Structure 1
């Protein structure tokens, strides 16, 4: 991602974080989102109509989406300002890095305390004599000078991505690493449905892409049966976006039908059961 793009994305993220110039409020349960009409209306057919026509939402500047899934609404709003969801939000620090500067407040790594005088390396000794900017270890710490070194200071044998590029979506409050490996299949299905409901084509395409990738990567996930149910119950029969992905997954992995949790989900989801029956019979899934 080039510097102008990072600068633009950082500005959009800052607008959302600060609420500056916001002229519309989305309510979902106990959460309120201060957003911008021009941004939402230009990318959603629903918000375009709500803001352009003389509806109550246009007059009050408040749109109540309490009937929708709160998680899906949150991801939808996040997408408007970050072009993604379930990702590390972009912050002002990213814009600073793109121009070659580093924000001191959000610096990724603190300086390591190294006593050059105790390291038998002529190059380091010369750097120390030249007045290196790195802090010296106080005398009382000399006995345990190697304890002052953080484990992260040791370079891995194989270079990592961080050594070459900065993540443009580096966050002030990043998503926990443990969540990165979760499939989020149900979440993707919900986001796909809300994108269809509110006419957000970009978000719908993104949710389908994420769902497709995750269902293959986590074929044995406990989330898979419920995600299939969610996809079939939250979309109409003619919307093949997620349904085709699910049918193809069953076609590629016939052993899925042997799982008890999958069997139960198929029994409780008539649309899925009917299409799997047609697939097994060698008939076209859609008429």
Structure 2
């Protein structure tokens, strides 16, 4: 990692760890997360509306997300400051320790070369200009839609239709996401929940990242006991027209037809009408989406 990028990542990590200069608080159950308005509002359509308009949340500086899944909220907040979740991330202490361990003499250079940070983990526009990706692609977040935040009640936080997907033309599609540190656990349900909360609060980078992690893990853990519940979570937590995780699931069934023979999967299909209907269309040779 070059020095300017290291400095920025370290500063963001420090802001998350210490809560210094925070001017907004996210509450989820018993947990409170000191966060920064400018950072969240510039990367989430929901938080932008909550901070910009004269709602109670803007006046009190507290946004209550208790209705959401606590684990998904934690990963969402973590992503804002580390551009990832469920992976080892940079901290102020680790960056300082790395600097102190820089070789002092050329004779040690070959044995103790500085570690390089893998920019393939970057999925957010915030660091796009600091990476080596193709700058000819668009790097700005989706155009803000008007009248999305007429009311911040729980019943209106979910959009009537999914936010514009950038999965087909994302400037970071060429990058590969490294698997989680705990490779023995698939985290399929977690990725489905993170994808849903990213859609709900308009965080396009996190939504793309969650989809990539889900696709990677579903292929690596086809025999996982989490798979049936993860499929159900994906279909029940997003609207019908959101094809992000659904296309991954349908393609998995198409590539591995023996999945339908699993008893746990059979039960999930029976309990998930959307999945059952799409599998029926696929088996009949019909387009999955009309």
Q: Tell me if TM exceeds 0.5.
A: yes
Aligned to 1:51: 51
Residue 246 in structure 1 maps to residue 249 in structure 2 = yes
Q: Matches of 2:3 and 2:186 in 1, distance apart?
A: 31
Query: Is the contact between residue 72 and residue 194 of structure 2 (CA under 8 Å) also seen in structure 1?
Result: yes
**Partner residue of 1:271 out of 270, 274, 280:** 274
Match of 1:25, SS?
strand
Q: Which runs of 4+ in 1 moved over 6 A?
A: none
Match of 2:6, SS?
helix
Query: Is the contact between residue 37 and residue 51 of structure 2 (CA under 8 Å) also seen in structure 1?
Result: yes
Match of 1:238, SS?
coil
Shift in CA distance, 204/7, structure 1 to aligned 2, threshold 3 Å: same
Structure 2 stretches lacking a partner, 5+ long:
103-110, 119-179
- Give the alignment of 1:1-287 within 5 angstroms: 1-96=1-96, 100-102=99-101, 166=115, 168=117, 179-287=182-290
Match of 1:179, SS?
coil
Deviation track 1:166-185 (CA, whole Å, cap 9, x = no partner) reads 3759xxxxxxx983321000
Aligned to 1:126: none
Q: Matches of 2:19 and 2:181 in 1, distance apart?
A: 30
Q: Matches of 2:235 and 2:84 in 1, distance apart?
A: 23
Query: Is the contact between residue 57 and residue 63 of structure 1 (CA under 8 Å) also seen in structure 2?
Result: yes
Shift of residue 165 of structure 1?
5.7
Shift of residue 218 of structure 1?
0.6
Deviation track 1:243-283 (CA, whole Å, cap 9, x = no partner) reads 00000000000000000000000000000000000000000
Aligned to 1:106: none
Shift of residue 164 of structure 1?
6.0
Q: Which is greater in Rg?
A: 1
Shift of residue 199 of structure 1?
0.2
Shift in CA distance, 165/227, structure 1 to aligned 2, threshold 3 Å: farther
Structure 1 stretches lacking a partner, 5+ long:
104-161, 170-176
Q: Matches of 2:267 and 2:5 in 1, distance apart?
A: 47
Shift of residue 90 of structure 1?
1.4
Match of 2:182, SS?
helix
Shift of residue 195 of structure 1?
0.1
Query: Is the contact between residue 94 and residue 168 of structure 1 (CA under 8 Å) also seen in structure 2?
Result: no
Q: What RMSD, in angstroms, separates the aligned Cα atoms of the two structures?
A: 2.0
Q: Matches of 2:82 and 2:208 in 1, distance apart?
A: 15
Q: Matches of 1:163 and 1:231 in 2, distance apart?
A: 45
Shift in CA distance, 178/44, structure 1 to aligned 2, threshold 3 Å: closer
Aligned to 1:138: none
Shift in CA distance, 4/27, structure 1 to aligned 2, threshold 3 Å: same
Match of 1:180, SS?
coil
Deviation track 1:52-99 (CA, whole Å, cap 9, x = no partner) reads 00000000000000000000000000000000001113111332255x
Match of 1:33, SS?
strand
Q: Matches of 2:117 and 2:183 in 1, distance apart?
A: 17
Match of 2:78, SS?
helix
